[in-house]
Amino acid sequence: MGDEVSLRKWPEVASKFEIVLTSSYGPYNDLVYPNSTIQSALLVQRDIALDIPISHILLPGINLTSSWFWTRQYSVDNVSAISTLFSMGYRRFEMDLWWDNTTSSFQLCPEQIVSNTMSNSTTIITTTISRATETVVSSSTSSFNTTVTSTFTATPSSAAAAPNPTDLIPLPNNYSCAIGANLQTVLDTLASILTRTDNNLQEAGLILLVLNLNTLPSLAGNNSIDLSIRTGQSLSQQINATLGDWLYTPATLALEREDINSTFLADKANPIIDISYYYTLDINNVTQIASTPNGWPSTRHLFEIQGRRLLIGFGSVNVTSTEYDIAQDSNILFPPNTFGGPNQLIPSTSLQNNPTTCLGPAGVVFGPQGQEDFNSTSISGNTTFALSQDPTPQNPLSYDSLEAIVNCGLSPLIDSPMENVSSGSLSPYEQIAATIWSWAPFEPQNTSLPQNGTTNVFACAALDADTGQWGVVECSTPLQIACRVNSSLYSVQASFFGNMN
């Protein structure tokens, strides 16, 4: 039965679920968060994938810049709502940061957050007034114009008081940004998620944060004060100060890769499901110590190392080293494209999912032939945090598209407009429902043990051979057992056990 469970530990082995769609999100109509059935299914998927290297597991992602801040409002509430996205099921967060040369720090807002003020220099203002003046000389009166010049000194005005950190400041290009909607607020929000789930493992989950670095244009003119907050710290210093207790770093990864016998494979009760996941493995003939130059730990391993549940790395870097040198962060933050670069980002429109293969573009993910063979005896691709997204992000990905992405072994990256609402077309929750590769729709059913102890109990899970998804059945139901072929990750055979009902 143990091998039967392993069948569902990686979504590549799932067959596409066939159903007549009644809405853009398949069988789910008017889905509202929270939904206990979907939350239970997500928890099960996390648990059965605990012993798979994190480079292979499903990590639904969202591009915060294009999907969450599409209204161009960088408010404190929007930043804090990342906590809701995590609770809904998102595990990968991509975010743009903008380098401000004036403050020598990064900010979330793509525009300079400035306030206009007068010049600090003293100004001489001269006012000239012409008026009529009458003069009496002897017995005659003469009238003529005189000019009066008055000079005033304009003292420098005091700098405007900093606005409330939560107040939105109107900025060019229809942006509105609050001073408090900054990187530190993002870090504090992540810290709140991790703190909240430290002692609540049912809600705990792995988090990837990917930072794309850009440069702001310089301030135009001298009549503006930059209201951005100067940190005086590198990114790694700022991040480590807030999130260091939960960070899994490149330095730790490099050390653990040198001896995976005592790290990744140390838990004999819960080993990595198959050593074949480490497709590049070096074994010392003398010490028999195994090492890997590119392998990754499992989620269980990260959880058990003092709760290291957060990995942060760079995506695209569009700042020069003279502006900001990311080399200073190399011990804390992972290098660019570690968690899936351009070679691993597959357009959703290029996927074609079949029961035994998934067709896609030839390359790193789908190999030289452009296909992932689920019946292969070895891994041919999908080992590097492979992603897929909609090439036209104006509309949300359909249920079919998301399901095909997941069943091909890729993680979806949502970049369509979303809002912090629990239902409706702009809710981020509907997309999560389509990432459930384990349970059939509306499963698992809510079951409980009968009080009299005689009623049949529908409290066991069975795999539907046609759909590749699970359903709840009565535990005494005789069924075939599906077992994975030893040392073959995706090859499964069914043995006969009683009569299938």
Cis check: omega of the bond before 34, within 30 degrees of 0 = yes
Q: If you ran DSSP here, which 8-state letter would residue 329 be given?
A: G
Q: Which domains does the chain have, with CATH numbers?
A: 28-115+174-436 (3.20.20)
Kindly state the average pLDDT of the residues 274-286. 78
The pLDDT of residue 489 is 63
Q: Which two tokens stand for residue 290?
A: 């195994």
Nearest to 394, CA basis, from 425, 416, 366: 416
**328 vs 222: which has the higher pLDDT:** 328
Nearest to 404, CA basis, from 15, 135, 88: 15
Q: What is the pLDDT of residues 287-345, one digit of tens each?
A: 888 899 989 999 999 998 778 999 999 999 999 999 999 999 999 999 999 998 888 89
**Banded pLDDT at 445 (limits 50, 70, 90):** confident
Residue 117 has pLDDT above 50, yes or no: no
Minimum mean pLDDT among 11-15, 192-196, 346-350: which range? 11-15
pTM metric for this prediction? 0.83
**286 vs 458: which has the higher pLDDT:** 286
One-letter amino acid at 281 equals L
One-letter amino acid at 63 equals N
Kindly state the average pLDDT of the residues 96-117. 87
Residue 365 has pLDDT above 50, yes or no: yes
C-alpha to C-alpha distance for 187 and 435, rounded to whole angstroms: 27
Q: What is the pLDDT of residues 17-30, one digit of tens each?
A: 232 323 467 888 78
Give the H/E segment covering residue 233.
Answer: none
